[in-house]
Amino acid sequence: MPLVAHNDLPTFAKLQQEGLQVLTPGLADQQDIRELHIGLLNMMPDAALAATERQFLRLIGESNPIAQFFVHPFTLDVLPRGDSAREHIKKYYDDFEQIKQLGLDALIITGANVIGPDLSKEVFWASLIEVADWAHQNVTSTLCSCLATHAVLDFRYGQKREQQAVKKWGVFRHQVVDVSHPLVDDINSQFDVPHSRWNSVYRQQFMDAGLKVLVIGDDGCVHLATSPDGFRTIFFQGHPEYDTVSLLKEYKREVNLYIAGEITEYTPLPENYFCDFNAAICREYQGRVDKSLAQQSQVPEFPEHLLLKNLQNTWQDTASAVIGTWLGLIYQLTNVDRRKPFMDTVDANNPLGL
């Protein structure tokens, strides 16, 4: 069911242009449908702020539960921001105090940029713990994405992420390993998920923390897991919210950093993402870039227009299905008073009866 454009956030208009159903508050008021209020703690840097909004709102808007979705983006004041991002946040975002007063049915926490291996030294650390701990006590379910998963595994379960020898970057095949959980009902037993990270929390670490591992990659990497109760916290290590073009945009940014001399090695192609034609174009462009830099001549423009038409999305249907199931379960487990995490008839330690 539809998103409700309860404020002037530009993401609503862009999703509407894509064909997603978005209700005005006036139309929403005319429908006898229950609301779900979902917080989106957006910790992404300025350049990815709006794109991250669109990615998660799209997944929410494409889900199937019979509800109206009010999404409330907010961020952490301690994160460094430029003038444009600060203005966007001031105009369209709630602050954490407003979120606490409102109450939420669910919360999504995005990833963030980090500057070192020790997450506890990041500027957002204490503020993130405050939000996550509040949600753990007051919100029915919290979904953690990538870096947020690593942070919660660290401060709540004592499992620190480890840097990998090479960056896990591309689109990878995964498989369901626990078919008993409703989050993986009615999805393919094997499906793709994009990843983009240098660090990992490994399967044994999830198990040592007493967490339920639901989906792993062909290399044993955990993508989807839950807290011991099966629902209070949902962990993604991949990026199922990514747009079809997200890895292309990231690849282009990395290539431009190489051209500018900010990194010394030309970035490799993301795995299992480009078709043979696109891979050939990228390799040819790399040769042209290196030749131009060696001759100190003008570097040719990145051939994005040639790559776009050949991109394939092999993950979004499964991502929408998982998010839809998650929101459907939240709908069943909450009531109209969002300040009560579970209905009185539900066992908070095992809400799904697993």
Give dist(CA 211, CA 204) in Å, integer: 10
Per annotation, catalytic residue among 144, 146, 221, 282: 146
Catalytic: which of 53, 62, 239, 254? Answer: 239
Question: 241 an active-site residue?
Answer: yes
Contact (CB, 8 A) for 324 and 64: yes
Catalytic residue among 53, 122, 241, 254: 241
User: At how many degrees (to 10) do helices 276-295 and 246-259 cross?
Assistant: 20
Give the number of residues written for the chain. Answer: 354
DSSP 8-state symbol, 33: -
Q: In a 3-state reduction of DSSP, which class is residue 109?
A: strand
Q: Which residue has the tokens 């993986």?
A: 184
Sorted by sequence, the CB contacts under 8 Å of residue 341 that are 6+ apart come out as: 137, 138, 139, 140, 334, 348
Assess whether 146 carries a catalytic annotation.
yes
Catalytic status, residue 35:
no
Sheet holding 190-200, edge to edge: 22-23, 3-4, 68-74, 35-43, 106-112, 141-145, 233-236, 222-226, 212-217, 162-176, 190-200
Cα–Cα distance for residue pair 32/157, rounded to 1 Å:
42
124 phi, psi to nearest 5 deg: -90, -5
> What residues are annotated to the active site?
146, 239, 241
